[in-house]
Amino acid sequence: MPLRQQMRFFIIGVVCSLATRADAAQQEVPAVGVVAGDYELTASTDSIPNAKRERRGHLVLRDLIVVRELFGTPCRLYGWTDVDFRSLGAPIAKSDTPPDSKDPENPGVLVLEPTPAFAKIMKSMKLRKTAEPPGAPIMLIGTVENKRTTRGMRDGGGIGLFVEAQEGQCVLGRWSRFGIAAGSEGAFKLCRVPGRRPTTR
């Protein structure tokens, strides 16, 4: 085969390889996400007719020193929030880790980064489907995974904040039960506080 033709095939092969890798990278990177930093959180419910339907407060996210895994899904961020989800009817018991816990071993908030296999696990457990779009983070509050002594169990209560879209410096989504305990559900909006840089602790 002439050298010029060999070079042509080589170049085509390289271009195709790079295109394939780019497509794979685009599929792996979530369209929306959260990072360490300080946020304003607004949560509302559409499940309780006679209750105050909205709560406002703050949510802080920090980097975990050691990355954890839940069902093979990495957890790189933890945090806490002063938003009272229990008053909105969320299935968070008094014995669960309080949402405002700043203890990395028993965090008030634990952030999941779902893998493609995670949706199948959620479906098999008959829980809410994984976040849309695929790969978008899920913030756990009051679940068995938020408490060191109950980590790995398959029951309990708690909720997940399922990120669904990004709007400027804010992410939007729905919150609903993450464990087997039933409760209300609703919507949330999480916005970065301007001028505050994320920290690692």
User: What is the tens place of the pLDDT at every residue in 6-46?
Assistant: 444 333 343 333 333 333 333 344 456 899 999 999 999 98
pLDDT at 49 over 90: no
More confident residue, 128 or 66: 66
What does residue 5 show for φ and ψ, rounded to 5 degrees? -70, -40
pLDDT at 1: 52
Q: Tell me the average pLDDT of the chain.
A: 76
Cβ 159 vs Cβ 41: under 8 Å? no
Q: What is the dihedral of CA 131, 32, 15, 116, to 10 degrees?
A: -20
- Average pLDDT over every residue of 81-96: 92
Q: What is the value of pTM for the model shown?
A: 0.75
Cβ 163 vs Cβ 188: under 8 Å? no
CA distance linking residue 72 with residue 94, whole number of Å:
28
Q: What is the pLDDT of residues 172-181, one digit of tens each?
A: 999 999 877 8
pLDDT at 67: 78
pLDDT band at 98 (very low <50, low <70, confident <90, very high): very high
pLDDT band at 150 (very low <50, low <70, confident <90, very high): confident
pLDDT at 181: 83
Cβ 119 vs Cβ 133: under 8 Å? no
pLDDT at 47 over 50: yes
pLDDT at 198: 47
Q: What is the pLDDT of residues 159-170, one digit of tens each?
A: 999 999 999 999
CA distance linking residue 39 with residue 35, whole number of Å:
10
Q: What is the pLDDT of residues 102-144, one digit of tens each?
A: 999 999 999 988 876 666 666 555 555 455 677 789 999 998 8
Under DSSP, is residue 167 helix (H, G, I), strand (E, B) or coil?
strand
CA distance linking residue 48 with residue 162, whole number of Å:
20
pLDDT at 100: 96
Residue type, 161: L
